[in-house]
């Protein structure tokens, strides 16, 4: 069991590092480091996170077999679809930098996003919609969670544009670590370990970003990070015993960091606000873990 857990944490992080390293080497060897070609290496961020999460899932839970009988089995497909959205957005993002097509391209970016948000929310909550909730309750939860997902995605977009890419990635990794602890304390070892896999992969991205080896990859990874995080939170809240206050605190970590980024934006103020932004994430996450610890179930955690 311990060996499986270590493989689910270490191997995905190593794979992510290899993917990013290969992309960086290609950019250097072909002399395409200019901003006019953001997709030349930026695609590696989404691929690295998606591949890491999928490998972690297969290591922990095996290959999902059809027909899918558990909402957790959608996890690798959500990660792969989000990777495709991130890759697609690279070409749209390039077009949005041109004034003549900026508005149209910006609107078109949300077409695949809305489809993915609808798939994640609808498929994850389908058992409750079919067997537990009334129509008004189901509609309220579906709309509310979809809005929360879209808001998280917007926040991730803002963090991806931060001058300190390593700092933004560390903030996401902290949320991953906190999510892992909360989910495991709330009775779901499998979801908790998947969150740990995400945290390990993001830790590798942050390390390479600090070394200057993965510039610009966070933007392409944003769809995957947002999708994986929200999927884990959504399924953890409705199918395990995550306390409401812990769920709220997990959701608030990145938005608070984004608001502080907006306040501290510009020159030295942004650099000086890095520790403040990381602290603003660590505070709510630590509180979420504390509340989950106090409310943890007394029986054994299910796998």
> For residue 291, is pLDDT > 90?
yes
Spans of all domains in the chain: 2-30+38-294
pLDDT 10s digits, 74-96: 999 999 999 999 888 876 655 44
pLDDT score, position 99: 43
pLDDT of residue 29: 52
- What would the pLDDT profile of 137-162 be if each residue is shown by its tens digit? 999 999 999 999 999 998 888 887 76
Task: Specify the higher pLDDT residue, 271 or 1.
Answer: 1
Residue 300 has pLDDT above 80, yes or no: no
User: CA-to-CA distance for 226 and 78, rounded, in angstroms?
Assistant: 11
């Amino acid at each position: 069991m311990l060996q499986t857990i270590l493989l689910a944490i270490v191997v995905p992080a190593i794979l992510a590092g290899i993917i990013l390293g290969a992309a960086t080497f290609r950019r250097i060897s072909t002399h395409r480091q200019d901003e006019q070609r953001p997709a030349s290496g930026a695609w590696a961020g989404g691929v690295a996170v998606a591949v890491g999460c999928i490998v972690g899932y297969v290591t922990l839970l095996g290959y999902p077999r059809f027909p899918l009988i558990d909402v957790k089995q959608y996890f690798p497909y959500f990660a792969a679809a989000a990777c495709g959205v991130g890759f697609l957005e690279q070409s749209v993002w390039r077009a949005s930098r041109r004034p003549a097509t900026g508005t149209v391209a910006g609107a078109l970016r949300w077409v695949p996003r809305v489809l993915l948000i609808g798939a994640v929310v609808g498929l994850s909550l389908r058992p409750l919609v079919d067997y537990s909730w009334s129509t008004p309750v189901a509609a309220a939860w579906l709309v509310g969670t979809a809005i929360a997902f879209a808001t998280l995605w917007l926040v991730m977009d803002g963090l991806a544009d931060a001058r300190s890419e390593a700092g933004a990635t560390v903030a996401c990794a902290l949320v991953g670590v906190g999510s892992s602890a909360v989910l495991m304390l709330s009775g779901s070892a499998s979801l908790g370990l998947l969150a740990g896999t995400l945290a390990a992969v993001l830790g590798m991205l942050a390390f390479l970003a600090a070394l200057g080896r993965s510039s610009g990859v966070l933007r392409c990874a944003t769809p995957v990070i947002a999708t994986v995080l929200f999927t884990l939170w959504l399924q953890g809240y409705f199918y395990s015993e995550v306390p409401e206050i812990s769920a709220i605190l997990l959701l608030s970590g990145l938005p608070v960091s984004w608001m502080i980024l907006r306040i501290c934006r510009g020159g030295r103020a942004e650099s000086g606000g890095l520790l403040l932004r990381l602290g603003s994430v660590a505070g709510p996450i630590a509180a979420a873990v504390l509340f989950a610890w106090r409310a943890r179930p007394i029986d054994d955690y299910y796998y």
